[in-house]
């Protein structure tokens, strides 16, 4: 029988709206549902837990604390870097998201918090770190994952063998 509830190893489609404490909508599924592999860390842990066991058509409101969301905001994750470390042709602006490679080759995303001629302050916290996340979610569809999807740990969407938003 085809699966009807959200369980590990299934490809799940959800519609969602994400609001912060002040009611600001910071993210939502717009024209198409978000499709992800349940139980594979494709989405934040708190949302995955809230969805487990829901049936197709179910709706749920859930509030997720930073610990189960994007983590607490850490002052240590803000670093000042000499302006000279950046290529001269990079046009810096506050809020710009940069991919930064550390000495071991690991790539991190950072947001330009502020800068002047001498230094650039980079914030490595997730933009939603420290926020309570208020989700309205609706389960739109569930299906079995293919062996390849399970192997890769993410869904393969129609017309996209390997979507760019995932790493491999
Ligand atoms: Zn893949």
pLDDT digits (tens, 9 = 90+) for 2-16: 899 999 999 999 999
Indicate the burial class of 131 (C-beta count within 10 angstroms; 0-12, 13-18, 19 or more).
buried
| Non-local CB neighbours of 130 within 8 Å, separated by 6+ positions | 66, 70, 71, 72, 73
**68-123, pLDDT tens digit by residue?**
999 999 999 999 999 998 888 888 999 999 998 888 999 989 999 999 999 999 99
pLDDT at 159 over 90: no
State residue 101's pLDDT score: 86
Ligand 1 midpoint to CA 154 (Å): 6
pLDDT at 168 over 80: no
Q: How far is the CA of 92 from the CAs of 65, 116, 121, 126, in angstroms?
A: 32, 9, 11, 19
pTM of the model: 0.80
What protein residues have CB closer than 5 angstroms to ion ligand 1? 152, 162
Ligand 1 midpoint to CA 150 (Å): 9
Report the C-alpha gap between 97 and 161 in whole angstroms.
27
């Amino acid at each position: 029988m085809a699966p009807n509830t959200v369980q590990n190893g299934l490809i799940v489609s959800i519609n969602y709206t994400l609001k912060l404490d002040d009611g600001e909508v910071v993210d939502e599924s717009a024209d198409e549902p978000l499709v992800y592999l349940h139980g594979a860390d494709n989405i934040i842990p708190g949302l995955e837990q809230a969805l487990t066991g829901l049936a197709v058509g179910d709706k749920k409101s859930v509030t997720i604390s930073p610990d189960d969301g994007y983590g607490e905001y850490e002052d240590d994750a803000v670093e000042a870097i000499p302006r000279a470390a950046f290529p001269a042709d990079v046009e810096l602006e506050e809020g710009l998201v940069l991919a930064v490679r550390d000495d071991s080759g690991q790539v991190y995303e950072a947001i330009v918090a502020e800068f002047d001629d001498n230094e650039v302050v980079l914030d490595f916290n997730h933009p939603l770190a420290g926020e309570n996340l208020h989700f309205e979610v609706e389960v739109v569809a569930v299906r079995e994952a293919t062996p390849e999807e399970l192997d890769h740990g993410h869904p393969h969407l129609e017309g996209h063998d390997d979507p760019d938003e995932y790493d491999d």
